[in-house]
């Protein structure tokens, strides 16, 4: 996102989009996307619905395929090579709007599945790690329950813990609070803010502008498949350059 010349002396680039284009049939969802995310960056992507925000971050771990351009994540180019996709998915955690917890497994088993099957941890190690991250999202007492027995906010925190158990270097959040009741949004945002504090590299698609303002160090505004503006939050919120971003901000900040 920042020009190349500023790269020396700063943390290394972990996610890079170069001229990425993607179509769903005839629909051009991503138009010439260029984006660089450095280690420990906290990037918030916002924009009206249908602008391609979710598609953008889903391209990072290949839940969506792009048709043109280059995406490099943690040194691996995302393409048709299943090995590099697998390597990237091990290092990139994702939190979904609909939580997507495994309903047939307990909270603890949800958290242990990845570490045991992908990282090759023993059951005991995986259990310790799972309990550690469940404690971090403040929900260790629910470890033996099934996802269906938890509230939405609790489920989303478990989903965050499940991703963290893989000890990823990058976390993707795809509208993590959009499916939650208002009183549960805060508990999830608090956990995410904690995570940001700890130095995790995060890409967050969200409409929570308060969260964006305090946590993000880069705002990316998308509209109709393009990145229209990217700026540090103080500038983005107080003095947006683009007319489309101004309109968007006036609409969502007016209440």
Partner 1 sequence: MNLRYSWPPSAWGKALRERAGATAPQASEIARTGAPRVSVRTAATLGRSGRWWNAPWFDTIQFLVLCGALLGLIVSGAMSMGYSWQWYRVPQFVFRVVDGELIWGPLAAGLAVTLEITACSVVLALAIGLVTAFLRLSDSLAGRAVSRVYLEAVRNTPLLIQMYLFYFVLGPIIGLDRFWVGVSCLAVFEGAFACEVIRAGILSVPRGQGEAGDSIGLGRAQVYRHVILPQAVPLMLPPLTGLMVSLIKNSAIVSVIAVLDLTTAGRDIVAETFMSFEIWMTVAAIYLGITVPLSVFMSYVERRVRTCD
Does residue 162 touch partner 1 according to CB under 8 A? Answer: yes
Site for partner 1 in 95-114 (CB under 8 A): 96, 98, 100-104, 113-114
Binding span for partner 1 by CB under 8 A among 5-13, 21-29, 84-92, 206-214:
84-92
Binding span for partner 1 by CB under 8 A among 60-68, 127-135, 222-230, 236-244:
60-68
SS3 content of the chain, % helix, strand, coil (to 5): 40, 25, 35
* Contact residue for partner 1 among 71, 94, 121, 184 (CB under 8 A): 94
Q: How many residues touch partner 1 (CB under 8 A)?
A: 24
Name which of 65 and 243 has its Cβ closer to partner 1.
Answer: 65
Alpha-carbon distances of 73 from 60, 63, 93, 98, 140, rounded to whole Å: 7, 14, 12, 25, 32
Name which of 6 and 103 has its Cβ closer to partner 1.
Answer: 103
Does residue 244 touch partner 1 according to CB under 8 A? Answer: no
Name which of 52 and 240 has its Cβ closer to partner 1.
Answer: 52
Does residue 86 touch partner 1 according to CB under 8 A? Answer: yes
* Contact residue for partner 1 among 14, 92, 158, 205 (CB under 8 A): 92
Instruction: List own/partner pairs for 36-39 with CB under 8 A and 24 or more apart.
Output: 36/1, 36/2, 37/1, 37/13, 37/170, 37/201, 37/203, 37/218, 38/10, 38/11, 38/12, 38/13, 38/14, 38/201, 39/11, 39/12, 39/13, 39/14, 39/169, 39/201
Length of the chain: 255
Q: How far is the CB of 188 from partner 1 (least distance, A)?
A: 17
Helices 123-136 and 107-117, axial angle in degrees (round to 10): 130
Nearest one of 170, 173, 204 to 78, comparing CA atoms: 170
Q: How far is the CB of 193 from partner 1 (least distance, A)?
A: 22
Site for partner 1 in 185-224 (CB under 8 A): none
Binding span for partner 1 by CB under 8 A among 27-35, 42-50, 55-63, 181-189:
55-63
Q: How far is the CB of 25 from partner 1 (least distance, A)?
A: 17
Nearest one of 71, 41, 35, 65 to 226, comparing CA atoms: 35
Q: Please report the sign of the dihedral spanned by the C-alpha atoms of residue 173, residue 174, residue 176, residue 182.
A: positive
Nearest one of 23, 22, 20, 17 to 1, comparing CA atoms: 17
Site for partner 1 in 114-153 (CB under 8 A): 114, 117-118
Rounded distance between C-alpha atoms, residue 89 and residue 87, angstroms: 6
Chain positions contacting partner 1, by CB under 8 A:
61-63, 86, 89-90, 92-94, 96, 98, 100-104, 113-114, 117-118, 159, 162-163, 166
């Amino acid at each position: 996102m920042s020009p190349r010349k500023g790269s020396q002396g700063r943390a290394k680039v972990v996610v890079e989009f170069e001229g990425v284009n993607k179509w769903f049939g005839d629909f051009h969802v991503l138009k010439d996307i260029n984006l660089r995310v450095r280690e420990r960056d906290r990037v918030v992507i916002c924009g009206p619905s249908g602008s391609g925000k979710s598609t953008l971050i889903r391209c990072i771990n290949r839940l969506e395929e792009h048709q043109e351009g280059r995406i490099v994540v943690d040194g691996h180019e995302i393409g048709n090579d299943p090995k590099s996709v697998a390597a990237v998915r091990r290092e990139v955690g994702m939190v979904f709007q609909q939580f997507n917890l495994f309903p047939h497994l307990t909270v603890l088993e949800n958290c242990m599945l990845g570490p045991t099957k992908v990282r090759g941890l023993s059951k005991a190690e995986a259990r310790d790690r799972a309990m550690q991250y469940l404690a971090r999202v403040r929900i260790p007492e629910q470890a033996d329950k099934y996802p269906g027995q938890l509230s939405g906010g609790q489920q989303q925190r478990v989903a965050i813990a499940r991703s963290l158990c893989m000890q990823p270097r990058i976390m993707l959040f795809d509208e993590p609070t959009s499916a939650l009741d208002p009183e549960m949004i805060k508990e999830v945002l608090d956990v995410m803010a904690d995570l940001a504090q700890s130095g995790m590299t995060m890409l967050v698609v969200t409409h929570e502008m308060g969260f964006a303002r305090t946590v993000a160090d880069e705002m990316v505004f998308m509209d109709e498949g393009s990145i229209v503006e990217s700026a540090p939050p103080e500038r983005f919120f107080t003095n947006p350059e683009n007319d489309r971003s101004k309109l968007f901000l006036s609409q969502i900040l007016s209440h």
